Structure 1
């Protein structure tokens, strides 16, 4: 069996596990535990580390854990902690996609589309734009991995592009008196609009160059 076939089979197994875990395990147990240990900094920090490690497995949004960080640590300490955690947790789907590498069918088409996008924008700009857009974090990470984005550009672009979402989530968490799924997932339309506007501005140059080349 060719190596890329084995890798694709392994990745499909991981994807199936993620789908099953996301259906069977919601974020409520995490929020309940966070409420109980919020006044015990060491336990709360350990909970956050575990949450960031398993977040891709359960397909939890990055903002969910960032809200927890703000809830427990406040905005000043919480922002750098949440940004570091968000960036680190995004590496799992990115590295898995890089491991899968070459493929066929949908994987090949996804990788080819991503390569064209990052070829036009550059790896760093493309990652910043991808994070500013209101798209699910893990599919963006996987696409970047399939597209051959460098690890450095992925990490820096993710950190920069996630800044507004992380700030909003941490501030929201720091203002909560009680954790809930609704409170941990709300994002205002103003922030969504601003993120899209900045992303489109960053794409203006590459789009103009592509149009001129034609």
Structure 2
């Protein structure tokens, strides 16, 4: 267990270092350079979705890129890429982080709320995508449920990113951090409504609901 924690800590340090050293501006430059060829553009976006977790870039980059290259029809592709890029952090956390106190607490909340409901709610929160992926991984959520929940919960963020990208004349002017506060508030409220009851019951010490059943 100690070795697993050390490996996980080392991996997180590597991601942090890469995030500090490699800015997403370079990726946006490459996307703009290949935007004239839709097939090549889609391939570069796919590669970026695989590399993104290593450098801890925001998933918004993928949605903005899809919007810039394909317009509104890029929403399904953006959502697929966001789901795909969330899987590596989830798997790493699932393999190395299941024996921590945080994992125990997370599993209790998931059992109380239900796997799918927990993932959807956590994705609606305005929290870093990789943090949510790691939390789901240590909480014992299955990969299939994680993927479906991620696709549902990330849909509003993907739509907003694609809309922003489709309105750009140049990716060099893209802003990955500017999101309408009304959307953030609405998604945050939805997440709170989905999780408030289960979290309260866990904190209050009530027995969790059976695994696999969503709480009423």
Q: Structure 1 length as normaliser, TM-score?
A: 0.89
Deviation at 1:7, TM superposition (A): 2.7
* 1:81 Cα offset (Å): 0.4
Show the 5 A alignment for 1:155-174: 155-174=147-166
Match in the other structure for 1:114: 106
Tell me whether 10-19 or 82-91 shows the greater mean CA deviation.
10-19
Deviates most, 184-193 or 86-95:
184-193
Q: From the superposition, tell whether residues 175 and 111 of structure 1 become closer, same or farther in structure 2 (CA, over 3 Å).
A: same
Q: Does residue 84 of structure 2 align to residue 92 of structure 1?
A: no
Shift of 1:121: 1.1
Unmatched runs of 5 consecutive residues or more in structure 2:
208-216
Instruction: Provide closer, same or farther for how the CA distance between residues 207 and 93 of structure 1 changes in structure 2, counting only shifts above 3 A.
Output: closer
Mean Cα displacement is larger for which, 193-202 or 164-173?
A: 193-202
Alignment equivalent of 2:181, drawn from 161, 183, 189:
189
RMSD of aligned alpha carbons: 2.0
2:8 alignment partner in structure 1? 11
In the TM superposition, residue 185 of structure 1 has moved relative to its aligned partner by 2.8
Residue pairs, 1:12-161, within 5 angstroms? 12-76=9-73, 78-103=74-99, 108-161=100-153
CA distance in structure 2 between the aligned counterparts of 1:6 and 1:205, rounded to whole angstroms? 36
In 1, Cα distance between equivalents of 2:200 and 2:28: 46
Task: Specify which structure has the higher proportion of helix.
Answer: 1
Query: Aligned pair count?
Result: 206
Instruction: Name structure 1 gaps, 5 residues minimum.
Output: none
- Residue 180 (structure 1) shift: 3.5
Aligned 8 A contact 1:64 1:185 in 2:
no
CA contact (8 A) 2:8 2:97 kept: no
